[in-house]
Amino acid sequence: QVQLVESGGGLVQAGGSLRLSCAASGRTFSSYAMGWFRQAPGREREFVAAISWSGGNTYYTDSVKGRFTISRDNAKNTGYLQMNSLKPEDTAVYYCAAGGGLNVRYRAEYGYWGQGTQVTVSS
């Protein structure tokens, strides 16, 4: 069993940065891939980034490549999403997730979800 709690969201101007954290409880966090998804009002929850259990492989949706960086510290049971050069279209609730599936871009591969943290980017 893994419980996830996100933090670090907030209001930032376009071009600014935020760092999201995802604190996990449970001894098995390090055995799961971790993903970040986001959901804007009226839209489906979409994939943002994912990282393998070891941290050796990372994946990004095209719209955030070069701006966002996903990482994890298994010793601290924590994952991160560094978001730079933020744009108003990045505004959404951001969720972290943990799962053991191979298709890390798909929501169904994740069995554990956090409650979400709001990110708002003003123009």
| CA 120/CA 116 separation, integer angstroms | 13
| CA 84/CA 23 separation, integer angstroms | 21
User: pLDDT at residue 78 above 90?
Assistant: yes
The single-letter DSSP state of residue 46 is E
Among 2-11, 85-94, 100-109, which is the least confidently predicted range?
Answer: 100-109
Percent of the chain with pLDDT over 90: 91
pLDDT tens-digit readout, 26-71: 878 889 999 999 999 999 999 999 999 999 999 999 999 999 999 9
